[in-house]
Structure 1
Amino acid sequence: MFWPAAFIALSLPAALVLNAAMLVYWLMRRWPVALLPLAVLLLTWPHLMRGLALYPFGNDAEAPATLRLLSANVRIFNVYPQLRDPDLHSSKTMISWLAEHPADVLCLQEYYTEPRPSADGVVFNTERKIGKLSGRESFVSTTLTNSIGAKFGMAIFSRFPIVRRGVINFGKLTQNHAMWADLRLPQGDTVRVFNAHLQSMSMDEQDIVDSYSSKAGLKAKGLGLLRRLKRGMVKRSVQVDTLVRRIEASRYPVLLCGDLNDLPYSYTYDQLADHLQNAWATVGLGLGASYNGKLPFLRIDNQFASPQWQVLSCQVRRDIPYSDHFPLEATYQLRPAKSQTAAAE
């Protein structure tokens, strides 16, 4: 990846907004001049639609033989002292909500589970609560186990049998990775679900806010933020290339969930969108912002589907604010064999 091009790509939303403003201005002042920004708008329309979905009605979410998929970065269920609130309210509520959710498949990033009771009782025994007690099989990919036997990593929970599973490592110097599970559907089809967490920027949110709030903040924070931004872009480019190779090798229809830590105009998103359809861009409405923090309008959590799937619905669950990411929920249906071939072509 040529990393300077990645920086330029991130400026695309601002350029598109400026072009739209010029279009409106010249329509009111001298309409022939407006033909130029109109042409630019038409030429960049596919890129605009990556960040702004315009599908108010979606598809028929009540179709039979569907698969309901929920993905979420759960921020280790706020187990760290600085994330906790009184009586572990947010932790308990988030865990209960996931356990009771009717989704067929859950893909969780920044996952945490305690295999046996600790000082907090059974609050964080999440693999059992979200898995076995909720009628789901579990597959936990562990990146770290602490002194009490608690596991940190990612997880896939499925109401369908998990017939095969695996982990995709991105190298020895990072805990970021991906995992996959082959699921046997009731009608006999096998599908492959990927769950991925790509390299973060390792940037403090307040530093970013400070950098654009004043000249002094930009001078003090700007250069360091740019360095981290570059490192994150380069690492994610290698990670997504690894992930794409595994997607291409799949003999089954693919669903992919993940915290990409990147925007719809990035190299990361571009590589995935070249092979898969993005659920939000296909049936969503609006920006689909999934980051729950001070930085607005960021869609860094996504679900993708191979052409064999029809995306029926997709929504960002902004009513579940217990992590720094909002959950993403979508419904899919496998296309008939003839339709699958046509969609792939």
Structure 2
Amino acid sequence: MAVRRSFAFTCTVLVVLWLLVAIACVQIPPHTFWPAAFGALTLPVALGLNLGLVFYWLLRNWRLALLPLLVTVLTWPHFQRGLALHPWRTVEATGTPDRQVRVLSANVRIFNVYPQLRDPDLGSSRKLVQWLAESPADIICLQEFYNEPRSTHTRDGKVFRTVEQIGRKAGRHAFLSKSLTNSAGAEFGIAIFSRYPILRRGTISFGKLTQNHAMFADLRLPGGDTIRVYNFHLQSMSMQEKDIVQSYSSKAGFKHKSRGLLRRFKVGMMARSVQVDTLVRRFERCRYPMLLCADLNDLPYSYSYDQLADYFQNAWATVGNGIGSTYNGRLPFMRIDNQFASPHWTVEDFKVHYEIPYSDHFPTTATYDLRARDEAE
């Protein structure tokens, strides 16, 4: 019995050390030491094992449970990143209407305009555009946006004149940051739509070798406060879902696909770490209350997420329950779309819209209350 207990305690110490190393890996920029990113991905496993050891030792020897229990308490914010738990929380608006903001964020996958994405009658495209246009959100941030200023698909009517439909016709100001305009005049990029006046706007480049970038808009709330909204889309890994599924579905698939997938995964993580560092430097200079909407293309246990979580509240981690996955595909448990808020805000609620399946990302909405200045300080 003593030997078994000694072995179990040794395993407990090793799990605690593993957990601490994984947390350290999360904070190392992949562009300076890329193997750390792979160590960071083991963090949820280490967190789960440590929590399991708490219950194991409570049944065996409560004194020995103190070590994993203490570690669980100290690392609880990391646990909440991947599995938010607020079972007794009730939604209750506390702010005044002129300081309350409703935000919608979505990667719309260019509204399925490509032939391999569209359905015969453009039903999914129409429904998604209509849902966005009719949304009660005050601010809408969209990634992988697509617009036809003069409809290039004449037989499709005005379905892809999205700036007009989600913007002016819905009573919103529009800011489209274009990454590409094709030969037919169609526009690709990211966009912000706002019911509030746009005072100032701008874009943030991530370099010439990528179309991914960020944008911001300064908005004037009805009460006179100015806020800044950032919308950004970090580097994709350029990995096909079917390749990932094949890589773990069979030994032959793993051998054939794994090397290329790992290489693209590495390149993507390194690029995103540089991009998020670029953004953080901009955030540090901003004097306004900030709201961030993003397709991070990264999990909560990543350097990119960690850098944002150091400065901002993640809306799902603050008020949500469960994993909050946002990827609409065969890969489960992936929350790669996020909203963040600076300390000036109280997060009232957050929702993932699983009933809107028209893209490979589910939209998210959140409600924020701008705190009084003395509360935020």
TM-score of the alignment, normalized to the shorter chain, above 0.5:
yes
1:292, 1:321 within 8 Å by CA — same for their partners in 2? yes
Stretch of structure 1 that moved more, 303-312 or 27-36: 27-36
Against the structure 1 CA distance between its residues 143 and 245, is the aligned structure 2 distance closer, same or farther, given a 3 Å change threshold?
Answer: same
Q: What does residue 361 of structure 2 align with?
A: 325
Q: What does residue 177 of structure 1 align with?
A: 213
Whichever residue aligns with residue 37 of structure 2, its letter is: A
1:58, 1:312 within 8 Å by CA — same for their partners in 2? no
Tell me whether 1:247 sits opposite 2:283 in the alignment. yes
Stretch of structure 1 that moved more, 287-296 or 46-55: 46-55
Q: What's the CA shift string for 1:3-48, capped at 9, x where partnerless?
A: 2111111111122223334444454455555444434323321210
Against the structure 1 CA distance between its residues 24 and 209, is the aligned structure 2 distance closer, same or farther, given a 3 Å change threshold?
Answer: farther
Stretch of structure 1 that moved more, 152-161 or 13-22: 13-22
Tell me whether 1:199 sits opposite 2:235 in the alignment. yes
Q: Distance in 2 between matches of 1:242 and 1:227?
A: 23
Stretch of structure 1 that moved more, 82-91 or 168-177: 82-91
In the superposition, the TM-score normalised over structure 2's length comes to: 0.87
Q: What does residue 92 of structure 1 align with?
A: 126
Q: What's the CA shift string for 1:292-339, capped at 9, x where partnerless?
A: 111101110000111111111111111111100001100011101110
SS in 2 for 1:81: coil
Q: What does residue 280 of structure 1 align with?
A: 316
2:133, 2:170 within 8 Å by CA — same for their partners in 1? yes
Tell me whether 1:309 sits opposite 2:309 in the alignment. no
Percent of matched pairs sharing the same residue: 67
Stretch of structure 1 that moved more, 205-214 or 271-280: 205-214
2:203 to 160, 164, 167: 167
Tell me whether 1:264 sits opposite 2:296 in the alignment. no
2:145, 2:191 within 8 Å by CA — same for their partners in 1? yes
Whichever residue aligns with residue 143 of structure 1, its letter is: S
SS in 1 for 2:286: coil
Gaps of 5+ in 1: none
Q: What do you get for the CA RMSD once the two structures are aligned?
A: 1.5
Matches within 5 A, 1:124-139: 124-139=160-175
Q: What's the CA shift string for 1:59-107, capped at 9, x where partnerless?
A: 4237422100000000000000000113111100000000000100000
1:293, 1:324 within 8 Å by CA — same for their partners in 2? yes
In the superposition, the TM-score normalised over structure 1's length comes to: 0.95
Q: What does residue 177 of structure 2 align with?
A: 141
Q: What does residue 114 of structure 2 align with?
A: 80
1:45 to 46, 54, 76: 76
How far did residue 54 of structure 1 move? 1.3
Tell me whether 1:106 sits opposite 2:140 in the alignment. yes
| Max Rg structure | 2
Matches within 5 A, 1:30-69: 33-56=64-87, 57-61=89-93, 63-65=95-97, 66-69=100-103
SS in 1 for 2:287: coil
1:294 to 325, 330, 355: 330
1:74, 1:108 within 8 Å by CA — same for their partners in 2? yes
Q: Distance in 1 between matches of 2:251 and 2:64?
A: 36
1:58, 1:284 within 8 Å by CA — same for their partners in 2? no
Q: Work out the number of aligned pairs and report it.
A: 341
